[in-house]
Amino acid sequence: MEKGKNSKNQPGAAGGKREDIGMKHKKSDFSEWFSEILMKAELADLRYNVKGFLVHRPWSVLTMKNMYRYYEEEFERNGHDPAWFPALIPESNFKLEAEHVEGFAPELFWVTHSGDEKLTERMALRPTSETAMYIMYAKWIRSWRDLPLKIYQSCQVWRCDTKATRPFIRGREFHWMEGHDVFATMEEANEQVKEDMEMTENVMHKIYGIPFISIQRPEWDKFPGAVHTYVADSMMPDGKILQQPSTHLLGQNFAKGFGIKFKDNDEIEKYPWQTCYGPAIWRMFGSVVALHGDDKGLRFPYEIAPAQAVIIPITGLGDDARVVKKCKEIKQTLTSANIRARIDLSDNTPGWKFNQWELKGVPVRIEVGPRELREKTVTLARRDTGTKRTVKESELTSIIPRIGKDMSSNLRKAADDFLHKNIRQAGNIKELGLQLDKGGFVKVDFCTIDVEGIPCAEAIKNKLHAEVRGTRFDKIERPSGRCVVCGKTAACVAYIGRAY
Amino acid sequence: MEKGKNSKNQPGAAGGKREDIGMKHKKSDFSEWFSEILMKAELADLRYNVKGFLVHRPWSVLTMKNMYRYYEEEFERNGHDPAWFPALIPESNFKLEAEHVEGFAPELFWVTHSGDEKLTERMALRPTSETAMYIMYAKWIRSWRDLPLKIYQSCQVWRCDTKATRPFIRGREFHWMEGHDVFATMEEANEQVKEDMEMTENVMHKIYGIPFISIQRPEWDKFPGAVHTYVADSMMPDGKILQQPSTHLLGQNFAKGFGIKFKDNDEIEKYPWQTCYGPAIWRMFGSVVALHGDDKGLRFPYEIAPAQAVIIPITGLGDDARVVKKCKEIKQTLTSANIRARIDLSDNTPGWKFNQWELKGVPVRIEVGPRELREKTVTLARRDTGTKRTVKESELTSIIPRIGKDMSSNLRKAADDFLHKNIRQAGNIKELGLQLDKGGFVKVDFCTIDVEGIPCAEAIKNKLHAEVRGTRFDKIERPSGRCVVCGKTAACVAYIGRAY
């Protein structure tokens, strides 16, 4: 339904202008649609003169600030304290964990000079903060009483990724969070992996509406320096897989490299067990845009929407001054009720404004015209369903959050359905290829995600341009037959997909 | 009063441990006191292996997060939108404004390589974001309808300052905010300077309790590229001046350098007028610690305190289990009332805990023992005055915020008094020297803060190791006589001080 044309309340409904902000079809050309919405909804500007670096405009930043708030609260609820570590890391820190430096070296940005002077030791911009944090952990941790140590930070990281950059998906600078935990025992570290996955569920899925499946990555696709890597794999509207937060079980590898030791309550000095967890708010924002948006523009879950309601005066039908006054009163009422409300008093037509704020993804539109004024009502329109209803002005502050909650839940369910509809199965390599072409995950019996599985994974990569993402972490799935590639007895059910 | 010894409620009051967390005298040795509190209250760790870079521990970060929140709300209330710009700035951007690059060049950290590859153009870590933002402003601003443009960002900046670094005062990496505004007219830009100073008053003074005097800097001490620089000069407990947020009236200098133009409503293309404003939360945190702390430790204003109340079970007097249960109930009640509360269930003695949380600066301490349990009361102790009172448990959620507000106001008033008592006058250069030795500001008749005043300023610098900070911005002060240095007719009353 095109609101700009159908509402009798809209004298100026500018059919001509509708086209200016009309979006490409998301289904037929997701990639174009995504590029377009970033620009039209003023989320980011790609024209900054460093490749892979985005300028984040207010509409995305306001949203990501809300997203950060929910995630920070979740981190703190789970016993993490916030810290801020330096962005620059001396080269020598990296060398303390051999696999880690090898994995990250090609992506590091190096600071070599200050002013005209060459530094005695070059420093990397943090690509992730293990090597900044763990030299301090070695100073802080002495006794079992100092454990567990659970710290997170919200920051930016820099990686000169050699793959093609894409805004909010893969960039050379991005905004994320990282949790770095230390435990006295392996069991506690293993429990933390589960708690991290629950945090992903509680915030990324329940609040942002981004569904995922939890996966243990294959041996050949772990974080450099980790014992195991666990991830939340999400899906984009084009069926391609996008990795969301991962947790790395570091075991004692870094503790040994960085000399983190503690005296246990049995008086014996031991190396502790570590985990690290990295939710990238920036990439999740990309998923929010991609998964929930439609051909009219953005659709934000109510909780994280930069504006939760927009008030539009229906002017030009008489009584303009009183209409505008009422709109301002309503804004005041909503603000007092902690509803993030805006009012559009620009000189555009109501129809143009409807389209504009739909593009911007505001969950609830409030229309106030002479009729509403007379009847002490307002007209509400929902961004997800487009349905309109007339409600009493006095009910606004109770109804809007309710609509918001319902809308968030609708968006999440639609995303859930999409994910689950796109998990398929294949019994042999040919079927795997056919199913992969439909997008999403394809489950197959697979020899093993241990190193012995590498040749089979490479065969899939070379023949089908797809990746073995790993096995389910949240449940045990038993294979019934043989590996779809090598034909050996399968040890696991692997999830295959084409990924960003 | 030493709470650990005087309260009959404290069986374990550990006189011996009191010394461990006892602080140096702030008055007799501020510098030592300040270093000590950073470590003892676990605000920061100075042992990170890059000079001038701090590791910020949870207690300071929680506070600075609150400080950021208030300042961000103030920015937004005043019409600013948040954005995030890249941390890396190509060298060519800097060269677009000649004075700016000259001023900052010696302090820039340069990124020259990514992985093993040399970059075709080296990039600086942002020391401030004019040169990152204004190339985008040139793309965004086309018409008078795009103005005013008011954007802020919260971020870190990096400056390889050659002066001695001091934690939370002068560092090579620090956390700040920057507002960058563009206007169609000079008048609006001038108004913005005043609005910026009001934001400083509304947040830094009213919320953080840091008083300042507003000053226009002399011509020779402006921001590189600015027409005028206006600052909030605050004072540290040792009487040394510390510059807090500054606003730079950029005029059209950067607009011309960066090609920012707009078509005005008279159809003529013009250069807009710009201002920029830089509140450094990091440095303000340093002032909060320094100004409000005492010999027992930190004293945080209630609004920004990481914990607003701490609940301490008075155990060891019987009924421990019920006491602890009650403490947990109270914590729940306070949390529901949006009071940031903690509970100390460690196995330390109550007396040790009292000292510990006084050190940490928590505004209100809540003691619950068997007596309180019987009487359905709690004992409250204020961190600023040390006074104790017994209140009904049911009144807690209304009384604590009231005490908090009163405490914040007390801390602010004490800081105000200190500042105003330390503004002195001098009629000649000898008196100026004597008054400067007392610390604080000394007002003198001065020839001029235009460039012609440079020789007199240098004389003051060389003879008295003091700086001409500038003239009052918030009011006109007329000189009555002659310049204390050169004897020429004074054009202004200048504020002189020794600064950090």
pLDDT value at residue B5: 33
Environment class of B124 (CB within 10 Å of its CB; exposed 0-12, middle 13-18, buried 19+): buried
Asked whether residue A260 carries a pLDDT value surpassing 90, the answer given is: yes
Average pLDDT score over residue span B379-400: 96
For residue B83, which residues of chain A lie inside 8 Å, CB to CB? Answer: 55-58, 61
Average pLDDT score over residue span B278-307: 98
Residue of A nearest to B42 (CA): A140
A455 part of contact set with chain B, CB < 8 Å: no
pLDDT value at residue B103: 86
pLDDT digit string, tens, across residues B325-381: 999 999 999 999 999 999 999 999 999 999 999 999 999 999 999 999 999 999 999
Asked whether residue B443 carries a pLDDT value surpassing 50, the answer given is: yes
Average pLDDT score over residue span A452-458: 98
Q: Which residue has the higher pLDDT, B21 or A496?
A: A496
What torsion do the CA atoms of A7, A8, A12, A15 make, to the nearest 10 degrees? 50
Report residue A99's pLDDT band, with 50, 70 and 90 as the boundaries. Answer: confident
Strands A309-313 and A341-343: parallel
Report residue A23's pLDDT band, with 50, 70 and 90 as the boundaries. Answer: confident
> The whole model's pTM is what?
0.94
What torsion do the CA atoms of A311, A312, A315, A321 make, to the nearest 10 degrees? 20
Asked whether residue B148 carries a pLDDT value surpassing 90, the answer given is: yes
For residue B109, which residues of chain A lie inside 8 Å, CB to CB? Answer: 88, 111, 113-114
Please name the residue ranges forming H helices in A277-339: 281-292, 320-336
Report CA-CA distances (Å) from A104 to A101, A181, A229: 5, 21, 16
B65 part of contact set with chain A, CB < 8 Å: yes
Report the mean per-residue pLDDT for chain B. 94
- Please give the share of chain A, as a percent, with pLDDT higher than 90: 91
pLDDT value at residue A207: 98
Environment class of B65 (CB within 10 Å of its CB; exposed 0-12, middle 13-18, buried 19+): middle
Asked whether residue B18 carries a pLDDT value surpassing 70, the answer given is: no
Shortest alpha-carbon distance between residue A285 and chain B (Å): 14
ipTM: 0.94
Q: What are phi and psi of B351, to 5 degrees?
A: -60, -45
pLDDT value at residue B403: 97
Tokens of A404: 């918001």
A145 part of contact set with chain B, CB < 8 Å: no
Asked whether residue A141 carries a pLDDT value surpassing 70, the answer given is: yes
pLDDT digit string, tens, across residues A104-125: 899 999 999 999 999 999 999 9
pLDDT value at residue B100: 80
Shortest alpha-carbon distance between residue B342 and chain A (Å): 13
Query: Residues A302, A204, A188, CA angle at the centre, nearest 5°?
Result: 145
Shortest alpha-carbon distance between residue B464 and chain A (Å): 30
pLDDT value at residue B473: 97
pLDDT value at residue B102: 85
pLDDT value at residue B122: 97
Report residue B21's pLDDT band, with 50, 70 and 90 as the boundaries. Answer: low
Report residue A11's pLDDT band, with 50, 70 and 90 as the boundaries. Answer: very low
Report the mean per-residue pLDDT for chain A. 94
In this complex, do A110 and B114 lie within 8 Å of one another by their Cβ atoms?
yes
Closest CA to B256 of B446, B96, B492: B96
For residue A81, which residues of chain B lie inside 8 Å, CB to CB? Answer: 58, 61-62
Asked whether residue B19 carries a pLDDT value surpassing 90, the answer given is: no
Tokens of B398: 């209304």
Report residue A103's pLDDT band, with 50, 70 and 90 as the boundaries. Answer: confident
In this complex, do A135 and B49 lie within 8 Å of one another by their Cβ atoms?
yes
Environment class of A421 (CB within 10 Å of its CB; exposed 0-12, middle 13-18, buried 19+): exposed
Asked whether residue B124 carries a pLDDT value surpassing 70, the answer given is: yes
Asked whether residue A281 carries a pLDDT value surpassing 90, the answer given is: yes
A178 part of contact set with chain B, CB < 8 Å: no
pLDDT value at residue A7: 36
Asked whether residue B7 carries a pLDDT value surpassing 70, the answer given is: no
CA dist., res. B331 & res. B325, Å (int): 10
pLDDT value at residue A21: 57
A365 part of contact set with chain B, CB < 8 Å: no
Average pLDDT score over residue span B118-132: 97
Amino acid at B71: Y
Closest CA to B61 of B209, B301, B281, B343: B281
Least confident of A205-214, B65-74, B91-100: B91-100
CA dist., res. A341 & res. A308, Å (int): 6
Asked whether residue B1 carries a pLDDT value surpassing 50, the answer given is: no
Report residue B11's pLDDT band, with 50, 70 and 90 as the boundaries. Answer: very low
Report residue A417's pLDDT band, with 50, 70 and 90 as the boundaries. Answer: very high
In this complex, do A56 and B175 lie within 8 Å of one another by their Cβ atoms?
no
Shortest alpha-carbon distance between residue B259 and chain A (Å): 15
What torsion do the CA atoms of B397, B401, B406, B411 make, to the nearest 10 degrees? 130
What torsion do the CA atoms of B434, B437, B442, B444 make, to the nearest 10 degrees? 30
Burial annotation B481-492 (CB, 10 A radius, 16+ → b, else e): ebbbbbeeebbb
Average pLDDT score over residue span B152-171: 94
Domain architecture of chain B: domains with CATH: 55-291 (3.30.930.10), 309-403 (3.40.50.800), 423-497 (3.30.110.30)
B 115-134 residues inside an 8 A Cβ radius of A: 115-116, 122-123, 125, 132
Shortest alpha-carbon distance between residue A55 and chain B (Å): 5
pLDDT digit string, tens, across residues A262-280: 999 999 999 999 999 999 9
pLDDT value at residue A162: 80
B119's enclosing H/E stretch is strand B117-125
B95 part of contact set with chain A, CB < 8 Å: no
Asked whether residue B442 carries a pLDDT value surpassing 90, the answer given is: yes
Closest CA to A126 of A166, A148, A154: A154
pLDDT value at residue A4: 33
Report residue A17's pLDDT band, with 50, 70 and 90 as the boundaries. Answer: very low
For residue A93, which residues of chain B lie inside 8 Å, CB to CB? Answer: 49
Average pLDDT score over residue span A430-459: 98
